Structure 1
Amino acid sequence: MSKKTTIKVLYTSDVHGNAMPILYGTNEPTNLGLAKYASIVKAVRNKNENVLVLDNGDLIQGTPLMTHYVKEHTDKENPMVGILNRIGVEAGVIGNHEFNFGKEVLHDAINSSSYPWLSANLVNEHGEPYFGKPYITKRFPNGPKVAIVGVTTHYIPNWESPSHIAGIKFKDALTTLKQWVEFIREEEQPDVLIAMYHGGIERDMETGEPTEVLTGENQGYAMCQEIEGIDILLTGHQHRILTGEINGVLVAQPGNNCIMYGDIDIELESSDGKWYVTHKNAEIIPVGDVQADQEILDYMTEIEESTQKWLDQPIGEIKGDMTINDPFEARVFKHAFVQFVQDVQLDASAAPISVTALLNNESKGFGSVVTMRDIVSNYMYPNTLVVLALTGKDIKLALEKNAEYFVLDEDGTITVNPTYIRPKPQHYNYDMWEGINYTINVSKPFGSRVEEISYQGKPLEESNTYHVVMNNYRATGGGNYDMFKNKPVIQEIQKDMVELISAYFEKHKIVTAQVNPNFIVKA
């Protein structure tokens, strides 16, 4: 007589430090975060016998809470890990942002976890998984055996500071996953194989048409097409919300910031002593207005109070207007807040040329009184600065890359290139430059849009070398700025931008909002 059972998988991805159900920029309550998710997990476990709870990476970075933790409280347990320990997560995956605070913070997080962090393709010099287990198995009581294998996008060396990833080799995620799936199927003979991939889907799931430049950063579609033996592929990294099937593999991605979570049901039936998958279904569900779990809130009390006190510290004053009302206009026309960031970078590095970006469309700039909350809300990444030696040709190539951010709509009006919005917003990959003058003509074709580049009143010389300061993400070629890869490093500034902005206000208690109109974007 056959038996039937159902396994329910709950998973998060790209939580990015969101523990509490608030927006730190305004302190307004909102429906996101692990404290709410914990209540959902408890309710699901009360109703279901076979539940598997997983996290797909980019857990420990992304909010002022975690910035403050790293600056002041690393003697204590990493709060994101502490919450997942209390939730009872079975396994996690290493995400690319796990490296942002350096290896020591990451190792501390892993060592304090009651669950394994899986990443089969991040290996040491001997080819062994650097962070321990590449996969785990779980046998449900009187039921099926499930194997979970994890891999991470191998594109991380294109973004991360070399010191943060020293000693780690990043093997191709697709190739490595294929090898491990074959091994697990043969050696473990699981009834269900779940692949967790901190990476995304590079093609339209129905048509197979590329949805991005195929760099190898995201390989989820190819994994489904080229690897036999995967039942479910849990993805992330792109911050997309999707479910579907590719070549019979159930695929999901639950967005970011723990606004939503993945809920997967796997129905099985036993025959001849073996379990067979009969049906698979995935939903992406908002955490919604569920009450936050009191145990988690109590656990977070001390670090949260410390974070709020830190955020409310006044740091400096602004004379004039440095608020951002329209992020698109702040990219087309030089904005006082962007000018301020450039001035901070130039001051910290003494370089003559600076590159920065308005990091997202939620940045509001600064009001008349600036607090730490304002700084971390506008500069949410723990970037450090690097000064590179670039040729004029490198600069010209980078400016042409920037110019691809714009297109003309049907009316001939300048607007944002849709590829910078979908499948993932990438406004942070449009840079603005300081120390040179230039014009972008959007009516011209890609690759020939930049006009009249000058430096100190003279035309930029392609063969000359110039010192340029930028954040560490861009300096390693992040955002497909290949012209910056492997260029001579003149200086590395180890303090992150939050520290550098704070230090700038210590030197200049009152900063005047001003603009050097050194670039033009025209149709």
Structure 2
Amino acid sequence: MTGNKTMNHSSDAITNEAGSEELNYQILVTSDIHGSIYPTDYRTSDEQQRGLAKLATLIRRERLRHPGGLLLDNGDSLQGTPLCSYFVKYRKEEMHPAIEVMNRLGYDAAVPGNHEFNYGPEVLRQAVEQSTFPWLSAGIVEAGSGEPAFGKPYIMKTTGEGIRVAILGVTTHYIPNWENPRHIADWAFRDALETVKVWVPRIREEEQPDLLIVSYHGGFECDLDTGEPSERLTGENQGSAICREVPGIDVLITGHQHRLIAGEVDGVTVVQPGCNGQALGKLVVQFQRRQDKWIITGKTAELLIPGVDVPADEQVLEWIAPMETGTQIWLDQSIGRIDGDMSISSPVLCRLADHPFMEFVNRVQMEAAGVDISNAALLSEQSGGFQGSVTMRDVLTNFMYPNTLTVLRLTGRDIRAALEQTANYFVVGESGQVAVNPQYMEPKPQHYNYDMWEGIEYELAVDRPAGERVVKLNYHGIPLADEAEVDVVMNNYRAGGGGDYEMYRGKPIIREIQQDMAELVADYVVRTGTIAARCDQNWQVTVQGVGVIW
């Protein structure tokens, strides 16, 4: 915009030298907050430069500078921190802390993310009912009627100047591949891309908006610069296809992948503001009135990242203080002790050979399921394992996802295929140095897709070609035959084939354990009192027949 301009006091409307009215329309976006409200590292109680309380400070600043506009959340707000676990366990008859903050900050709408379903339909439905804003997801429908599950697939907003804004919500349809079936029995999940293809032209025709926003809890399946696929095209993420194949979209808000993105794809302005309150997405759309019609003349996207100079909003901290205090007291309760050392000094080292902590995890799973084979993943690079006194803080920071357990009946062939999939996590350079496969680092880290097993003896020779890396696979000391059948316990995400473990899909389900893993571990520690750290060294990663030393 050029020339002398006069600001309208009620909005960002201005008049340029030619007498044409112009206006800047602002959209603020959060996504994948995962219950991170206080700027607190729940492992150490140290302050972090993230969290919704810090973003609230930025939200208030931006609203003072640019009154009006939108504030949207793009999903995964209800799960992910001990605060959320404490709420669900002890205080779920109250208002969810994330909903309380979003209500008070005046959010205009939210989109359900995949983790919204983790605590079951009761918690999700209550959160939706408590919200003073609508939840939008055109592709999630009631299983019986086919009606939108949360009331509205889209909403319309009209500014004082007459600009009509449409916001369509849509959620990755891949949720049934991860979620406990009991948690989603009430709903059906339609293909997100196909849903957008149906609704965008319908909204354009029926509502004739001046600005059409799609808020999509999903990410990008292709490199944003080259357009080449950056992951296996399963349908989990369809952001690139939405931009490329659906005309009529002005802005695409994304999430799910926890990436920091602000830019443009095929003429569509896109933003993705990370996770846990890392950043606030800010989109500004420039309009000019031409012959009584508002025309988009420009669009920008940026990420506002809170640093040490951005204090947490005191009102937000005050609103949540009682629940946060209760959480901290609960976290510091000692529930048992470790005799020895189960601490994790390096997550990479933990994945190169059997480790006491992972052996403990697998043994808890085997006891709960009544089987003698188990696999489990180190869920977070921040997992510290256990040492000395064990508190609820230790348990919840190592088991942050409310995964339940499933027992599958597998053949030896299935297990070999699963180990080959796991072995893809590592690559070997020309110098013989072992490294993490870049495919597990981009477009988002996927360390949780590397499994470690107990109850079998195996060796992964990662210097061999993919598909030929399992050079030892024994059960009770003898080779496991391809046709042999055994029962294996794993988390429900993996049992559904999550992480490209296709060999598990459709396999007989022998048993399901409905307690989540954090509860099972806590119960085990309380019941046992003192747990001996042990490790039977039943597996290792090798190069040229020698165990890898990192």
Q: TM-score when scaled to structure 2?
A: 0.94
Would you say 1:21 and 2:36 are equivalent positions? no
TM superposition shift of 1:143: 3.6
Cα distance in 2 for residues equivalent to 1:85 and 1:288: 25
TM superposition shift of 1:51: 2.1
Amino acid at match of 2:76: D
Amino acid at match of 2:221: E
Would you say 1:116 and 2:116 are equivalent positions? no
TM superposition shift of 1:38: 1.5
Cα distance in 1 for residues equivalent to 2:389 and 2:90: 24
Cα distance in 1 for residues equivalent to 2:305 and 2:357: 34
Which secondary structure state, in structure 1, belongs to the residue aligned with residue 351 of structure 2?
A: helix
- Whether the aligned pair in 2 keeps the contact of 1:6 and 1:50 (CA below 8 Å) is no
Q: Corresponding residue for 1:375?
A: 395
Q: Which of 270, 278, 284 in structure 1 is aligned with 2:303? A: 284
TM superposition shift of 1:224: 0.6
Q: Corresponding residue for 2:448?
A: 428
Which secondary structure state, in structure 2, belongs to the residue aligned with residue 29 of structure 1?
A: coil
Amino acid at match of 1:58: D
Q: Which of 330, 351, 368 in structure 2 is aligned with 1:331? A: 351
Q: CA RMSD in A?
A: 1.0
Would you say 1:515 and 2:535 are equivalent positions? yes
Q: Corresponding residue for 1:396?
A: 416
1:150-205 per-residue CA deviation (whole Å, 9 max, x = no partner) reads 11011111101100110311111001011100010000000000000000011111
TM superposition shift of 1:451: 1.6
Would you say 1:164 and 2:180 are equivalent positions? no
Q: Which consecutive unaligned segments of at least 5 residues does structure 1 have?
A: none
Cα distance in 1 for residues equivalent to 2:141 and 2:346: 44
Would you say 1:498 and 2:518 are equivalent positions? yes
Cα distance in 2 for residues equivalent to 1:492 and 1:213: 29
Would you say 1:46 and 2:56 are equivalent positions? no
- Whether the aligned pair in 2 keeps the contact of 1:318 and 1:368 (CA below 8 Å) is yes
- Whether the aligned pair in 2 keeps the contact of 1:120 and 1:135 (CA below 8 Å) is yes
- Whether the aligned pair in 2 keeps the contact of 1:161 and 1:476 (CA below 8 Å) is no
1:36-85 per-residue CA deviation (whole Å, 9 max, x = no partner) reads 11122112111212321000001111001001111111010011111000
Would you say 1:449 and 2:469 are equivalent positions? yes
Q: Corresponding residue for 2:487?
A: 467
Would you say how many aligned residue pairs link Structure 1 and Structure 2? 523
Would you say 1:68 and 2:86 are equivalent positions? yes
Would you say 1:233 and 2:252 are equivalent positions? yes
TM superposition shift of 1:286: 0.8
1:79-131 per-residue CA deviation (whole Å, 9 max, x = no partner) reads 11110001111010010011111111111111100111111001123322111
TM superposition shift of 1:288: 2.1
Percentage identity across paired residues of the two chains: 51
TM superposition shift of 1:392: 1.3
Cα distance in 1 for residues equivalent to 2:464 and 2:322: 56
Deviates most, 93-102 or 476-485? 476-485
Q: Which of 289, 292, 296 in structure 2 is aligned with 1:270? A: 289
TM superposition shift of 1:225: 0.7
TM superposition shift of 1:337: 0.8
Q: Which consecutive unaligned segments of at least 5 residues does structure 2 have?
A: 1-18, 544-550
Cα distance in 1 for residues equivalent to 2:488 and 2:217: 32
Instruction: Spell out structure 1 runs of 4+ moving beyond 4 A.
Output: none
Would you say 1:352 and 2:372 are equivalent positions? yes
**Bigger Rg, structure 1 or 2:** 2
Would you say 1:437 and 2:457 are equivalent positions? yes
- Whether the aligned pair in 2 keeps the contact of 1:312 and 1:371 (CA below 8 Å) is yes
Would you say 1:190 and 2:205 are equivalent positions? no
Q: Corresponding residue for 2:151?
A: 132
- Whether the aligned pair in 2 keeps the contact of 1:316 and 1:506 (CA below 8 Å) is yes
Amino acid at match of 1:4: E
Would you say 1:242 and 2:258 are equivalent positions? no
Q: Corresponding residue for 2:497?
A: 477
Cα distance in 2 for residues equivalent to 1:189 and 1:515: 65
TM superposition shift of 1:393: 1.4
Q: Which of 265, 272, 288 in structure 2 is aligned with 1:253? A: 272
Q: TM-score when scaled to structure 1?
A: 0.99
Deviates most, 307-316 or 47-56? 47-56
Q: Corresponding residue for 1:415?
A: 435
Which secondary structure state, in structure 1, belongs to the residue aligned with residue 360 of structure 2?
A: helix
Amino acid at match of 2:524: Y
1:435-469 per-residue CA deviation (whole Å, 9 max, x = no partner) reads 00111111111111112211112211211211101
Cα distance in 2 for residues equivalent to 1:87 and 1:211: 36
1:341-376 per-residue CA deviation (whole Å, 9 max, x = no partner) reads 111111111111001011121111112111000111
Deviates most, 29-38 or 57-66? 29-38
- Whether the aligned pair in 1 keeps the contact of 2:455 and 2:475 (CA below 8 Å) is yes
- Whether the aligned pair in 1 keeps the contact of 2:58 and 2:280 (CA below 8 Å) is no
